[in-house]
Amino acid sequence: KGKWVGRIFAFPFQLVYVAYWAFVTAIVVRTFGEVVVTAVLTNTPLEVIVGTMLLLCLLLSLYRFEVVARVNEVLLLFIVVPALGISLSSFQSARFEFIQPFWPTGHWLDIAKGTMPAMTTYLGFETMLLVNGHIERNKTLLKPQVYGVITPGVLYLLIVLAGTMAFGYEELIRQAWPTLELIKSVTVPGLILERLEAVFLGVWVAAVFTTAGNWFYSANWMVSEMFSLKRRQWSAVPLAIAIYYIAMSTGNIHELFAITDTISYLGMVVAFGLPLLFLVLAMVRKMDGRKEQQPPKEESTREAG
């Protein structure tokens, strides 16, 4: 009955979400900075690129959920359509023997171990659960959210297949940024674009901004709710400084990839384990909305008569 009791029990779970979203945001912006410094702005300090992206995320976190949703909606076409075209054009030099056999025999444990770290790329849908608490309950919302999860999954699948079929797994594992190298090998008919990686980096900037911005927004919103802050500016600035410190504390790319593998395991717990736990608690406390969906017994009997 007392709200303070719920706050005490919820605090550890909220802290886990904030820590996860903060670390993932730091990994995303640091990876973005490494690629930009390597491929385009070779003379620009890494700190400037990381700080600029975090500043944009900070500004986005000061607005309401509606604004964030509209930003994602506007950038959706600028991300999905070019990314789909680039991924399909990457099959020019594809060799199907690099992905044979189609159904591997044995080594399933190794495949599972390799899949877990890669799951970090597919995570992020848990932020929709946070947004669902601020919108009107409607059954039709499930369909666009499912499409929102399937769309990047299909794009990632196409990019991974194109990279594997172009380089082969032996050469692929030796490259730090295989997708960027794959784009460099693509030629546009008619030589309309001689450097397709420029288009790819432009699309990737928008993709990184939406990814890091949504995670930063979720972490900032959670912190403001934990401490009942009236203005999100009070939590956004310290959070941005902490994320910047985490992002720049990584020594090199190898350490960055190692941290990414570790965070991926935590992400599986945060994205799948905790929501299932909350669902079970809601069902036990009869807060899952099943009563609202069932008509009263008297009315249903009258309708049947």
Task: Report whether 33 contacts 53 (CB < 8 A).
Answer: yes
SS3 138: coil
pLDDT value at 1 more than 80: no
Among the listed residues 16, 122, 141, the one whose alpha carbon sits nearest the alpha carbon of residue 69: 141
Check: pTM over 0.85? Answer yes or no: no
pLDDT value at 301 more than 60: no
pLDDT value at 305 more than 60: no
Please report, as a single letter, which amino acid is at residue 214: N
Question: Tens of pLDDT along 200-211?
Answer: 788 888 888 988
Average pLDDT over residues 233-247: 91
- Distance CA(157)–CA(197), nearest Å, equals 19
Task: Report whether 46 contacts 37 (CB < 8 A).
Answer: yes
User: Which of 4-8, 19-23, 285-289 comes out lowest in average pLDDT?
Assistant: 285-289
What pLDDT score does 50 carry?
Answer: 93
- Distance CA(131)–CA(127), nearest Å, equals 6
φ/ψ of residue 241, rounded to 5: -65, -40
